[in-house]
Amino acid sequence: MRWVLFEVIGDSLEEKELIQSIRRTLFELFGTFGASKVFFRIVEYDQNKGLGILRTNLEGLSLLRIAFFFLRKIGSKRILINDLLVSGTIAALKGKMGRIRTWRERLSFLNSIA
């Protein structure tokens, strides 16, 4: 198992929309056989911050990351999913979360010095 810290950049998404879109993208890219290799579950998701943690199988990690890259639009909402950190345990992931800067944090920093 692998734990992935991700952020949704762009329009706000509900967890259900996000899950459905990731699954649909996996099926579009890899077909039924390829998508069936990816097992994932969103463990935590903060819609306001756009941050979440998901758990996935090791074999499906690379396919999931590819799906993140191709997922740019959900309905009329424009988004980008950025995988910030991957870890073998959730404890290690949460331990490293304090040192990770999201795109929102980076943009607010740049705006503050401009």
User: Cα–Cα distance between 81 and 1 in angstroms, integer?
Assistant: 20
User: Cα–Cα distance between 49 and 46 in angstroms, integer?
Assistant: 6
Average pLDDT, the chain: 91
pLDDT tens per residue across span 29-75: 999 999 999 999 999 999 998 999 999 999 999 999 999 999 999 98
| pTM listed for this prediction | 0.87
Residue 43 to residues 3, 30, 33, 82, 106: CA-CA distances in angstroms?
Answer: 9, 24, 25, 17, 25
pLDDT tens per residue across span 77-94: 999 999 999 999 999 999
Low-confidence winner among 3-17, 40-54, 97-111 (lowest mean pLDDT): 97-111
pLDDT (average), residues 7-14: 92
Sheet with 73-74, side-by-side order of all strands: 40-46, 51-56, 2-10, 77-87, 73-74
* H or E stretch at 44: strand 40-46
Q: Please name the fold of domain 2-113.
A: Alpha-Beta Plaits (3.30.70)
